Amino acid sequence: MIKMRWFFSFGLALFLAASVGCGEAEQKTDDGAPERDAAADDNAQPPDADAPDVDDAEDSVDIEEVDVCVPNCDGRLCGDDGCGNSCGQCATGQECEDGTCVKQCLKLNRTEVTASWKPIHGPDDPRGEFYYQEVEENGDVVSALRLEIRQFHPFNGPQGPGEYDIAFKEENGFGACTICVSFFDSCGQTGCNRRLLATSGTLVIESLDGADASFKATLKDLVLKEVSIDKDYNTYYLKNKETACIDEYVIESEEVRLAVPQPQCMAEGTGIFLDDNIADFELTNCLDEKRNLHEMCNQTKAMWLVLGAMWCPYCSQYIPMFDEIRANNADSIELWVVMGENKNRLAPTAADCLEYAQKVGVDPSRVFYDHHYETVTEYIYPYVFQGIPFSIILDGSNMAYIWSDGTYGSLNSALGGLL
């Protein structure tokens, strides 16, 4: 279009030039200026003011107005600058809150709650042990928050409403706390990612009265340190680990269970928690024999179940030691080893079970296979399954649930209390 207009204009100019040079001479006025044709002037039309200039119309460009985002990080160390970019990043262990880096506290989201109270000095004495636990399940991974209040002597913990400091002498560890708050992070068959113990903070109790009332309290300003606690509850604070915190968090349970077992075995059981009478259930051993838990009622003082797996190196190390303890107390301890997976982490078979019994040197009649421990954990609640081997101790006289790994006390104290 532009080229054609240029070509047309150029041709017209040549044509006019040729006409002037070859035709009749141009008439001029007396002053030498060319004479205008009056008739042509009379027929000329005035220019249209609204008509666009051809060249301007061809070369014009529409310009859109564009909003320009102006970033603003005034007073902000982190977070969005208002334009989709960042004002900065927080250090490890911190999170951004309203443009400020603050300590990253635990994100708690309970899916299951249990609370119980156990009398220690007799049923009419208000001094006992209060136990609260809430669990968050995410597939096969479990995290748990646990509160233990030791009301019995010599701890003499709180028995009712009030505001209480949870600090204790850290050098004395878990065994020294009166109000013990623990967090078990991302626990599975191979253990927990970490275990935290609160070393400072406040517990504000709104409702607590043994097993006669609901429970409600608030945890405030807790600082938790990563720890390792062995089976005798010696506590080791791990160095160079970030502390965690609980800013303010309400814990509550509508029901507080009275943790007092019946004196005899109960076929239907009274529950699945500590101090409940565990109901009868059936397992299959390596010889493909069906055996019932209650076969051992009043046949032994302590019923010891150990959960393990063929692929677990610690199981192969500890189970022979456990069986030696049983052999040295044959009249008082019965040991059942329950295998949950084979060497390929699949459902075990009788052949896998027999191979494993021979490997660890345990009587195959005392070794059972139960995929993922589905039967055992249906009847016995595994308080914060912290990995395998996982021990459970029942009272042989009534199959009351006395202790398991992760609960208060130790394996030695649990067995010693029954022998």
Nearest to 118 by CA among 108, 110, 106, 126: 126
- pLDDT for the residue 123: 78
Please say whether the beta carbons of 137 and 112 come within 8 A. Answer: yes
- pLDDT for the residue 59: 58
Please say whether the beta carbons of 253 and 378 come within 8 A. Answer: no
**Structure-token pair, residue 335:** 């040991």
Domains delineated in the chain: 112-258 (no CATH), 282-418 (3.40.30.10)
Report pLDDT digits (tens) over 180-211: 999 999 888 777 889 999 999 999 999 999 99
Please say whether the beta carbons of 401 and 276 come within 8 A. Answer: yes
| 3-state helix/strand/coil string of 349-410 | CHHHHHHHHHHHCCCHHHEEECHHHHHHHHHCCCCCCCCCCEEEEEECCCCEEEEECCCCCC
**Structure-token pair, residue 58:** 């061809």
Task: Determine what percent of the chain falls in helix, strand and coil, rounding each to the nearest 5.
Answer: 20, 35, 45
Element (H, E) at 112: strand 112-119
Q: Look at residue 187 and give its three-state secondary structure.
A: strand
- pLDDT for the residue 5: 36
Q: Residue-wise pLDDT tens for the chain (419 aa)?
A: 333 333 333 333 333 333 344 344 444 445 444 555 544 445 555 555 555 555 554 555 666 677 789 999 998 989 998 898 999 988 876 778 889 887 778 888 888 899 999 998 887 888 999 999 999 988 878 899 999 999 999 999 999 999 999 998 888 888 889 999 999 998 887 778 899 999 999 999 999 999 999 999 999 999 999 999 876 678 999 998 888 999 999 999 999 999 999 999 999 999 999 999 999 999 999 999 999 999 999 999 999 999 999 999 999 999 999 999 999 999 999 999 999 999 999 999 999 999 999 999 999 999 999 999 999 999 998 877 778 999 999 999 999 999 998 787 789 989 999 99
- pLDDT for the residue 53: 55
List of residues 6+ apart from 307 with CB closer than 8 A: 338, 340, 373, 376, 382, 388, 389, 390, 391, 392
pTM for the complete prediction? 0.69
Please say whether the beta carbons of 180 and 197 come within 8 A. Answer: yes
How far CA 117 is from CA of 204, 246, 414, in Å, comes to 18, 24, 18
- pLDDT for the residue 192: 86
Instruction: Note if the bond before 263 is cis, omega within 30 degrees.
Output: no
Q: Look at residue 352 and give its three-state secondary structure.
A: helix
Q: Cα–Cα distance between 337 and 320 in angstroms, integer?
A: 10
Gyration radius (Cα) of the chain, Å = 42
- pLDDT for the residue 341: 96
Please say whether the beta carbons of 298 and 332 come within 8 A. Answer: no
**Structure-token pair, residue 279:** 């109901």
Pairing of strands 257-258, 333-339: unpaired
- pLDDT for the residue 51: 53
Q: Cα–Cα distance between 160 and 208 in angstroms, integer?
A: 5
- Write the burial class of residue 69 (CB in 10 Å: 0-12 exposed, 13-18 middle, 19+ buried): exposed
Q: Cα–Cα distance between 141 and 90 in angstroms, integer?
A: 28
Q: Cα–Cα distance between 151 and 180 in angstroms, integer?
A: 12
What is the C-alpha end-to-end distance of the chain, expressed in Å?
Answer: 108
- pLDDT for the residue 9: 37
Please say whether the beta carbons of 163 and 220 come within 8 A. Answer: no
Please say whether the beta carbons of 293 and 338 come within 8 A. Answer: no
Which residue is listed with tokens 């040991």? 335
- pLDDT for the residue 406: 77
- pLDDT for the residue 17: 38
Nearest to 106 by CA among 148, 144, 139: 144
Report pLDDT digits (tens) over 348-360: 999 999 999 999 9
How far CA 100 is from CA of 63, 77, 123, 186, 289, in Å, comes to 41, 6, 52, 28, 64
How far CA 251 is from CA of 60, 204, 215, 217, 384, in Å, comes to 71, 10, 8, 5, 18
